[in-house]
């Protein structure tokens, strides 16, 4: 299976308008973080910065970091009270610079780490910015995440003559893999959980809309003149997988998210 490089550039306005649920679903991870006044907290892959801003209301000093300039532009405009720094979280030097070399009490990441193929580099970088006892609190895609919608996208690729076997550049670890990785990098794992989360799309959105926002390497090479046909194909395959009928009986489409949540303390 071919793995295409991840050159994703985010549509920041579209993300907030239709896919704000990603941020909203991050509430459990904020509860696990339990930010305290005066703490220094780094949010990696902060996107448009809404969670960073929410954490800052606890009195913590928050620095949001992201590798996408367009996402940070929205974050800075909407949350001028928070510091945002452009940084690739896989780059230990960049992470330390974002934290101004000072040690952090906690690092948070929601819905971002599975976009980072070099998981070991991310965790090693986090270990380098956390004080001993400092915590890493994450929700990301876990094993089995978005399997049905990915299969629908691959089916639609095949229908228009593209390679259906292309691998995504996402990383969806098992709980065991991620726990072992954390221990290798000097963390004590306090909690690791794999959670099935049926995730409704915004009213009017279908599988093809999700694919356009998040499909990354699975959709990037679809030629413009085949786009409409491809979108129709995604929805045909997604319907066959039942993604147009919400399991909770409410109207609308849903995506088969599986989240990996973990809390680890730096030794």
Ligand X SMILES: C[S@@+](CC[C@H](N)C(=O)[O-])C[C@H]1O[C@@H](n2cnc3c(N)ncnc32)[C@H](O)[C@@H]1O
- Interface residue list for ligand X (CB under 6 A): 10, 22-23, 26, 44-47, 51, 66-68, 71, 88-90, 110-112, 115-116
Nearest residue relative to ligand X (C-beta): 47
Q: Which residue lies nearer to ligand X by CB, 14 or 133?
A: 14
Q: Quick count: other Cβ atoms within 10 Å of Cβ 10?
A: 21
Q: Kindly state the tokens that stand for 68.
A: 């996408």
Q: Report d(CA 148, CA 2) in Å as an integer.
A: 19
Closest to ligand X by CB, 107 or 162? 107
Q: DSSP H helical segments within the chain, as ranges?
A: 12-19, 21-24, 27-33, 50-56, 69-78, 92-98, 119-129, 147-159, 175-184, 207-214, 227-240
162 vs 211 by CB, closer to ligand X: 211
Euclidean distance between CA atoms 176 and 191, whole angstroms: 11
**Rounded to the nearest whole angstrom, what is the least distance from the CB of residue 25 to ligand X in the complex?**
8
CB of residue 82 to ligand X, shortest distance in Å: 13
Minimum CB distance to ligand X, residue 70 (Å): 9
Half-sphere exposure of residue 258: CA atoms within 13 angstroms, side-chain side = 16
How far is Cα 137 from Cα 164, in angstroms, rounded to an integer? 35
With respect to ligand X, which residue has the nearer C-beta, 26 or 207? 26
Tell the smallest beta-carbon distance from residue 228 to ligand X (Å).
Answer: 25
Q: Name the residue nearer to ligand X (CB basis): 138 or 234.
A: 138
Task: For the CB of residue 31, give the shortest distance to ligand X in the complex, in Å.
Answer: 14
């Amino acid at each position: 299976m071919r793995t295409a490089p991840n050159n994703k550039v985010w549509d920041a306005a579209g993300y907030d308008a239709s896919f704000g649920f990603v941020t909203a679903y991050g509430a459990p991870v904020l509860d696990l973080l339990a930010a305290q006044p005066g703490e220094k907290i780094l949010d990696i892959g902060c996107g448009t910065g809404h969670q960073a801003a929410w954490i800052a209301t606890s009195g913590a000093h928050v620095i949001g970091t992201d590798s996408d300039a367009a996402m940070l532009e929205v974050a800075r405009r909407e949350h001028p009270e928070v510091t945002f720094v452009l940084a690739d979280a896989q780059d230990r030097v960049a992470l330390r610079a974002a934290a101004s070399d000072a040690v952090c009490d906690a690092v948070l990441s929601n819905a971002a780490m599975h976009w980072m193929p070099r998981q070991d580099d991310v965790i090693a970088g986090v270990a380098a910015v956390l004080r001993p006892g400092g915590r890493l609190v994450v929700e990301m895609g876990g094993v089995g995440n978005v399997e049905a919608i990915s299969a629908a996208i691959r089916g639609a690729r095949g229908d228009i003559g593209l390679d259906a076997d292309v691998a995504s550049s996402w990383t969806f670890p098992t709980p065991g893999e991620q726990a072992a990785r954390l221990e290798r990098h000097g963390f004590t794992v306090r909690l690791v959980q794999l959670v099935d989360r049926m995730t409704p799309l915004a009213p009017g959105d279908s599988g093809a809309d999700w694919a356009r926002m998040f499909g990354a390497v699975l959709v990037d090479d679809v030629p413009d003149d085949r786009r409409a046909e491809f979108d129709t194909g995604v929805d045909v395959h997604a319907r066959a997988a039942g993604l147009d009928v919400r399991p909770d009986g409410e109207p609308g489409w849903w995506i088969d998210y599986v989240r990996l949540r973990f809390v680890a303390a730096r030794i």
